[in-house]
């Protein structure tokens, strides 16, 4: 089955503070068996010289051709990136996923949470 992707992104910089950036996006996917519409917002905000805050939100609606069911989901998260000593980067992201799928005779709700942590050292 062929899949078709359509997307529109609006990008802005220095909207709240010098050096920040924001993306507002809309995406539509026609996948044959499903069609998916997603809206997302992502901002990168320089809190201090080394610390960047990166809140993100994605809202998605999916229609399933088989069975005529549909699903809504929301995925908010917050990423923190801290660069120090010019060569080291610490990264932490925390968030969750909430979804609700309408079935023929029932509704299936689910939730999940995540935490990612990492570091990077540049040896150049």
Question: Mean pLDDT throughout 45-49?
Answer: 93
Residue 1 has pLDDT above 80, yes or no: no
State residue 82's pLDDT score.
Answer: 96
Residue 13 has pLDDT above 80, yes or no: yes
Distances, alpha carbon 53 to alpha carbons 3, 16, 28, 113, 124, in Å: 34, 13, 28, 19, 26
Answer with the residue of higher pLDDT: 31 or 119: 119
How many whole angstroms from its chain centre is CA 35? 18
Q: Tens of pLDDT along 60-98? A: 999 988 877 899 999 999 999 999 988 999 999 999 999
Contact call for residues 35 and 70 (beta carbons, < 8 A)? no
Q: How does the average pLDDT of the chain come out, rounded?
A: 93
What is the radius of gyration, based on Cα positions, of the chain? 18
Report pTM. Answer: 0.85
- Please give the Cα distance from 124 to 32 (Å, whole number): 48
State residue 85's pLDDT score.
Answer: 87
């Amino acid at each position: 089955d062929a899949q078709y992707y359509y997307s529109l992104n609006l990008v802005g910089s220095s909207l709240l503070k010098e050096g920040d950036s924001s993306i507002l996006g809309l995406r539509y996917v026609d996948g044959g068996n499903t069609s998916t519409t997603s809206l997302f917002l992502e901002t990168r905000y320089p809190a201090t010289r080394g610390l960047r805050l990166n809140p993100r939100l994605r809202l998605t609606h999916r229609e399933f051709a088989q069975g005529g069911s549909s699903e809504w989901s929301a995925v908010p998260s917050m990423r923190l990136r801290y660069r120090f000593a010019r060569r080291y980067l610490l990264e932490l992201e925390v968030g969750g996923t909430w979804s609700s799928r309408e079935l023929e005779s029932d509704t299936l709700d689910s939730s999940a949470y995540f935490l990612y942590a990492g570091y990077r050292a540049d040896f150049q």
